[in-house]
Homo-oligomer: A and B are copies of this chain.
Amino acid sequence: MRPTRRKPSLPEAGVPERIVSAATGLFCEKGYAATSVAEIVARAGVTKPVLYYYYGNKAGLFRHLFVRHLESFREMLERVMAEAKTTRERLVLLTREQLSYGRRHFQEMRFILGTVLGPRRDFPRMKLEEPHQINRRLFARLFSEGMASGELRRLDIDEVCAAYMGVVLLASLRQIHQPARAPQADLAERLVDILLSGVGRERPEGDDR
């Protein structure tokens, strides 16, 4: 049956937030495929037509959650780019924010990662590469500016972005697997040091110490 798009007669305050919160929780706990609209509306305390009115269907709700998550990440990154001037400062702030986000929202992070990386049929069709590219473009700007200012070596921007994202991803995953562990002081600084200075004792150009 095609859901009607007529607005329910008595919209309550906070209804979209309740739907988003219920759906996020259920998708995180059970996965997208195993979660039904009936369960979402029951947990949110609304009726199905209300959910259909706001999000069209389960797939529309999922896309909304996904885009919203990426959007808030983007805003954080823009703020860091404006706040800090050197590449090292920007990277430390950015890394700290990402680790802190991962600690506060490890369920959501599991869900996003499982979605992007998991079997394709378990979530609605969407251009996952596209939102992923948004983040990559933002990182690319940071690293391009660092190369232009002479703070960074001239390397392939995409490879540097991927290396940075990988270092942060794994550090976040360790937090997800051990959510009870206390946040490690200065972890962001140490990760940025590894990225900027490397783990080897010598530089390949021959300026060994």
Q: In the docked arrangement, what's the CA distance between A68 and B163, Å? A: 28
Q: How far is the CB of A165 from chain B (nearest CB, A)?
A: 5
B198–A196 touching, CB < 8 Å = yes
The contact size tier of chain A is 35 or more
Of the listed residues A31, A113, A118, the one surrounded by the most CB atoms of chain B closer than 10 A to its CB is A118
**Nearest B residue to A155 by beta-carbon distance?**
B199
Q: How far is the CB of A166 from chain B (nearest CB, A)?
A: 3
A125 on interface, CB distance cutoff 8 Å: no
Given contacts A159-B190, A163-B170, A196-B204, 9 further A-B contacts (CB under 8 A): A29-B119, A31-B121, A114-B117, A150-B201, A153-B201, A163-B194, A195-B198, A195-B199, A197-B204
Which residues of A approach B to under 8 Å, CB–CB? Answer: 27-31, 33-34, 87-88, 110-111, 113-115, 117-122, 128-129, 132, 143, 150-153, 155-156, 159-160, 162-163, 165-171, 173-174, 176-177, 187, 190-191, 193-205, 207, 209
